[in-house]
Structure 1
């Protein structure tokens, strides 16, 4: 008989629950604000400028449409020129816009588009907080460019720190123009993620980790992930329930108890972010409260193709 699930969080987490994790960002960045009031205070704009991805995750299905509310989806792909023009329109449309982020539909560091876009936006609107979400494969090689372009907040998706587990989640990657498979791919990805996080922390970036909770695959491993990324320099973790699709469509979404267990395990090492809305790559507004996507992009946008994994 299994032990009952405790409803208690670690004591240090309970003491900190009502205090901001990042006082300088509280109320200014919804994805780094840990109070409900702070999360609702500022809007963000996601610019879908990243055309391709360099890893193939078993749970990831990127697409162009208007209806799905999940990462990896956008109505269309923007060029850096279009992204700058979109930012200008968004600032006029959304009075509390404070953050411009790039989170897809591919990986922002797999091409030059995101860094070019960040540099141009930072030069024109230096008060905006710039944020990037990446799988971390190219992070060691490109983190200096991110910092130079004005990026201040970084989210890295780390789903395992065990290459055997990672091989089930990301069975192949594209590394230096070659395909790498299985455990070797998992080891390369994890090594680069941890090195990139450490380099980003040394440069002063504020780092959050996204971890997809996958029942029967990494659900027993979340504490180990949190411990490793905390040692590397991350300061917060967001445990995201799996959306069962693509190669993991046979699995079930984690239950409340499974999510609770994973977050308690993570909370032993990092503050846990709990307001995630699994945003689209072209989201505009306050997550879960306002959505200006259709107002910003209109109804006449034609979908553009993106590149396949690797």
Structure 2
């Protein structure tokens, strides 16, 4: 290629990187709005209806509090019926909400409550975008139901595609009423995640992958993750810096250079999402701009589940 051709190609790549990745979601869904302008006007509501999880990640602590601004945390747990009332109240407080998502505090596919909630929300507000976030273990089994409910955007957390690395991140999982440990657990989780992404893409869902960037564990592995999930059908990747806690409390969070290197490696295969605010499981409003959670839930912390874990 001539020098002029190379310059034109580079310019085209820069323009593509600044244009919205998903024009129909830009300014409507903050997690799929890839420009700063679109992200700054996109409001969402997260419904904390999922009590349990089927995997044990070394970076995750689920909790009920108002203090932590991170995934896995909520003020209280809702039943599907209570969640419908919360949606109605949230739309009064923040009429610009276009997206109702479920991302915890446990995994939405570990119990039936999330899909029950989506069915109720879809029946009453068919115009809202429905979004699901999952670890992907149960995704192959549930993807037909997910697609049938009209859920159009999906986030799958994929932290490794090498079972040896995955075993460090998620040392045990619950699969088909059995506990799997170590590399065996990693093999099963990765296989289900990649199959689930492929089947979701075949159904026409827009798929984002979240990857927690963990120094000394998977920081050298990000490019391979991006390559594999892109081949499976993912459309976007979000690289989330580790919050040192639980089994990784001894690690330092990744610095700016490590985050830059990880994003640069990933963007060889996928558009990289760069506006993540690491939202709580009960978030409401525009990420980093407005927060209506206290108006929705009041001051009380309800730490005990309000219904069966299933």
Distance in 2 (CA, whole Å) between partners of 1:219 and 1:100 is 32
Q: For the Cα contact (< 8 Å) 2:131–2:153, is it kept in 1?
A: yes
Distance in 2 (CA, whole Å) between partners of 1:150 and 1:167 is 34
Q: Aligned pair count?
A: 300
Structure 1 residue aligned with 2:46: 46
Structure 2 residue aligned with 1:184: 184
In the TM superposition, structure 1's runs of 4+ consecutive aligned residues that sit over 3 Å from their partners are 10-13
Distance in 2 (CA, whole Å) between partners of 1:11 and 1:104 is 40
Q: For the Cα contact (< 8 Å) 1:51–1:111, is it kept in 2?
A: yes
Q: For the Cα contact (< 8 Å) 1:13–1:271, is it kept in 2?
A: no
Q: How far off is 1:188 after superposition?
A: 0.2
Q: For the Cα contact (< 8 Å) 1:219–1:262, is it kept in 2?
A: yes
What TM-score does the superposition give when structure 1 sets the normalisation length? 0.94
Look up the SS of the partner of 1:237 in the other structure: strand
Look up the SS of the partner of 1:132 in the other structure: strand
2:74 corresponds to 1:71: no
Structure 1 residue aligned with 2:7: none
2:170 corresponds to 1:170: yes
Query: After superposition, where does 1:186-265 map in structure 2 within 5 Å?
Result: 186-265=186-265
Structure 2 residue aligned with 1:37: 37
Structure 2 residue aligned with 1:105: 105
Q: How far off is 1:297 after superposition?
A: 1.1
Structure 2 residue aligned with 1:275: 275
- The C-alpha deviation readout for 1:173-226, integer Å capped at 9, x for no partner, is 000000000000000000000000000000000000000000000000000000
Q: For the Cα contact (< 8 Å) 1:46–1:101, is it kept in 2?
A: yes
Cα 1:171–1:48 shift into 2, 3 Å: same
- The C-alpha deviation readout for 1:21-68, integer Å capped at 9, x for no partner, is 001111110110001111112210000000100000001011000110
Cα 1:191–1:165 shift into 2, 3 Å: same
Distance in 2 (CA, whole Å) between partners of 1:135 and 1:204 is 19
2:287 corresponds to 1:295: no
Distance in 1 (CA, whole Å) between partners of 2:249 and 2:301 is 30
Distance in 2 (CA, whole Å) between partners of 1:162 and 1:250 is 23
Q: For the Cα contact (< 8 Å) 2:65–2:301, is it kept in 1?
A: no
- The C-alpha deviation readout for 1:243-298, integer Å capped at 9, x for no partner, is 00001000000000000000000000000000000000000000011000001111
Distance in 2 (CA, whole Å) between partners of 1:83 and 1:143 is 22
Q: For the Cα contact (< 8 Å) 1:173–1:179, is it kept in 2?
A: yes
Structure 2 residue aligned with 1:115: 115
Q: How far off is 1:151 after superposition?
A: 0.6
Q: How far off is 1:300 after superposition?
A: 3.3
Q: For the Cα contact (< 8 Å) 1:213–1:219, is it kept in 2?
A: yes
Q: How far off is 1:15 after superposition?
A: 2.9
Q: How far off is 1:95 after superposition?
A: 1.6
Look up the SS of the partner of 2:121 in the other structure: helix
Look up the SS of the partner of 2:262 in the other structure: helix
Structure 2 residue aligned with 1:284: 284
Gaps of 5+ in 2: 1-9
Structure 1 residue aligned with 2:14: 14
Structure 1 residue aligned with 2:125: 125
Distance in 1 (CA, whole Å) between partners of 2:227 and 2:13 is 15
Distance in 2 (CA, whole Å) between partners of 1:234 and 1:130 is 18
Q: For the Cα contact (< 8 Å) 1:51–1:306, is it kept in 2?
A: no
Distance in 2 (CA, whole Å) between partners of 1:148 and 1:252 is 42
Distance in 1 (CA, whole Å) between partners of 2:306 and 2:22 is 35
Structure 2 residue aligned with 1:6: none
Cα-Cα RMSD: 1.6
What TM-score does the superposition give when structure 2 sets the normalisation length? 0.94
